Amino acid sequence: MKNIRNFCIIAHIDHGKSTLADRLLDFTGSVTEREKQEQLLDNMDLERERGITIKSHAIQMDYVHEGEEYVLNLIDTPGHVDFSYEVSRSIAACEGALLVVDAAQSIQAQTISNLYLALENDLEIIPVLNKVDLPSANPEEVTDDIVDLLGCDPSEVIPASAKTGIGIQEILDAIINRIPAPTGKVDAPLRALIFDSVYNPFRGVETFFRVINGTIKKGQRIKFVNTDKQYDADEVGTLKLKQQPKKEIKTGDVGYLITGIKDAREVKVGDTITDAENPTTEAVAGFEDVKPMVFAGIYPVDTEDYEDLRASMEKLQLNDASLTFVPESSAALGFGFRCGFLGMLHLEIIQERLEREFDMTVITTVPNVSYHAFTNKHPDDVILVNNPSDLPDPSTLNRVEEPFIKATIITKANYVGPVMSLCIEKRGEIVNQTYLTTERVELTFDMPLAEIVFDFYDRLKTVSRGYASFDYSPIGMRASHLVKVDVLLNANKVDALSALLHKDNAYDIGKKMCEKLKELIPRQQFDIPIQAAIGAKIISRETVKALRKDVTAKCYGGDISRKRKLLEKQKKGKKRMRQVGNVEIPQEAFMAVLKLND
Ligand SMILES: Nc1nc2c(ncn2[C@@H]2O[C@H](COP(=O)(O)OP(=O)(O)OP(=O)(O)O)[C@@H](O)[C@H]2O)c(=O)[nH]1
> What DSSP string runs through 509-544?
HHHHHHHHHHHHSPP-SS-EEEEEEETTEEEEEEEE
Instruction: Say if residues 199 and 94 touch (Cβ distance below 8 Å).
Output: no
Q: Which of 8, 19, 42, 105 most suits a substitution to test ligand 1, by most atoms within 8 Å of the C-beta?
A: 19
Tell me yes or no: is domain 4-178 CATH 3.40.50.720: no
Distance 69 CA to ligand 1 centre (A): 29
Burial class (CB in 10 A: 0-12, 13-18, 19+), 513: buried
Tell me yes or no: is domain 484-594 CATH 3.30.70.2570: yes
- The DSSP letter of residue 50 is H
Instruction: Say if residues 124 and 181 touch (Cβ distance below 8 Å).
Output: no
Distance 439 CA to ligand 1 centre (A): 24
Contacts of 174 (CB under 8 A, 6+ apart): 126, 158
Strand partners for 102: 130
Ligand 1 atom showing the smallest separation from residue 53 Cα: 23
pLDDT at 54: 38
Q: Which of 10, 12, 13, 18 most suits a substitution to test ligand 1, by most atoms within 8 Å of the C-beta?
A: 18
State the Cα–Cα distance between residues 72 and 469, nearest whole angstrom: 32
Please provide the CATH number assigned to the domain covering 294-365: 3.30.70.870
Residues of each annotated binding site for GTP: 14-19, 130-133
| Percent helix / strand / coil, the chain, rounded to 5 | 30, 35, 35
Condensed to tens digits (0 to 9), the pLDDT of residues 340-379 reads 988 777 888 888 888 888 888 888 888 888 899 999 999 8
Instruction: Say if residues 213 and 194 touch (Cβ distance below 8 Å).
Output: no
pLDDT at 286: 65
pLDDT at 444: 95
Ligand 1 atom showing the smallest separation from residue 80 Cα: 25
pTM for this structure? 0.74
Question: 350, 295, 293, 283: which is closest to 320 by C-alpha?
Answer: 350
Ligand 1 atom showing the smallest separation from residue 166 Cα: 31
Residue type (1 letter), 401: E
Sign of the torsion angle spanned by Cα atoms 381, 384, 385, 390: negative
Condensed to tens digits (0 to 9), the pLDDT of residues 182-191 reads 998 999 999 9
Instruction: Say if residues 256 and 243 touch (Cβ distance below 8 Å).
Output: yes
Alpha carbon separation from 123 to 9, 57, 138, 395 (Å, rounded): 11, 19, 27, 54
State the Cα–Cα distance between residues 448 and 372, nearest whole angstrom: 13
Question: 206, 199, 319: which is closest to 255 by C-alpha?
Answer: 206
Interior/surface letters 397-421, b for 16+ CB within 10 angstroms, e for the rest? eeebbbbbbbbbbbbeeebbebbbe
Residues of each annotated binding site: 14-19, 130-133
Strand partners for 405: 447, 474
Strand partners for 400: 373, 480
Distance 77 CA to ligand 1 centre (A): 14
Distance 45 CA to ligand 1 centre (A): 17
Bridge pairing between strands 468-480 and 499-502: unpaired
Interior/surface letters 380-393, b for 16+ CB within 10 angstroms, e for the rest? eeeeebbbbbebbe
Distance 83 CA to ligand 1 centre (A): 18
Alpha carbon separation from 448 to 293, 296, 369, 479 (Å, rounded): 12, 18, 10, 10
- The protein residue whose alpha carbon is closest to atom 10 in ligand 1 is 16
pLDDT at 55: 45
Would you tell me how many other CB atoms lie within 10 Å of the CB of residue 466? 10
Ligand 1 atom showing the smallest separation from residue 12 Cα: 19
State the Cα–Cα distance between residues 285 and 48, nearest whole angstrom: 34
**Domain 371-480 shares a fold with domain 484-594:** yes
Ligand 1 atom showing the smallest separation from residue 50 Cα: 24
Distance 212 CA to ligand 1 centre (A): 32
Distance 18 CA to ligand 1 centre (A): 7
Distance 57 CA to ligand 1 centre (A): 17
Would you tell me how many other CB atoms lie within 10 Å of the CB of residue 483? 20
Distance 34 CA to ligand 1 centre (A): 22
The interface predicted TM-score of the complex, written ipTM, equals: 0.97
Q: Which of 14, 46, 138 most suits a substitution to test ligand 1, by most atoms within 8 Å of the C-beta?
A: 14
Ligand 1 atom showing the smallest separation from residue 42 Cα: 23
Tell me yes or no: is domain 371-480 CATH 3.30.70.240: yes
Question: 538, 518, 537: which is closest to 528 by C-alpha?
Answer: 518
pLDDT at 548: 61
Instruction: Say if residues 217 and 248 touch (Cβ distance below 8 Å).
Output: yes
> Which stretches of 329-442 are DSSP H helices?
344-358, 416-425
- The DSSP letter of residue 545 is P
Give ligand 1 pocket residues (Cβ under 6 A). 11, 13-19, 51-53, 79, 130-131, 133-134, 161-163
* Residue 570, helix vs strand vs coil: helix
State the Cα–Cα distance between residues 185 and 188, nearest whole angstrom: 5
Ligand 1 atom showing the smallest separation from residue 22 Cα: 15
Distance 16 CA to ligand 1 centre (A): 3
pLDDT at 51: 44
Angle at 309 between CA 307 and CA 315, to 5 degrees: 105
Sign of the torsion angle spanned by Cα atoms 368, 372, 375, 378: positive
Contacts of 233 (CB under 8 A, 6+ apart): 216, 217, 218, 219, 220, 221, 222, 257, 258, 259
Residue length, the chain? Answer: 598
DSSP 65-113: ETTEEEEEEEEE---SGGGHHHHHHHHHT-SEEEEEEETTT---HHHHH
Residue type (1 letter), 74: L
Residues (pLDDT < 50) of the chain are 39, 48, 50-56, 574
- The protein residue whose alpha carbon is closest to atom 21 in ligand 1 is 14
| HEC assignment per residue over 451-481 | HHHCCHHHHHHHHCCCCEEEEEEEEEEEEEC
Ligand 1 atom showing the smallest separation from residue 78 Cα: 25
Q: Give residue limits of the domains in the chain.
A: 4-178, 191-275, 294-365, 371-480, 484-594
Distance 28 CA to ligand 1 centre (A): 20
Q: What is the largest CA-CA distance in the chain?
A: 90
Q: What are phi and psi of 536, to 5 degrees?
A: -95, 0
Fold assignment, 191-275: Elongation Factor Tu (Ef-tu); domain 3 (2.40.30)
pLDDT at 211: 95
Ligand 1 atom showing the smallest separation from residue 164 Cα: 31
- The protein residue whose alpha carbon is closest to atom 13 in ligand 1 is 16
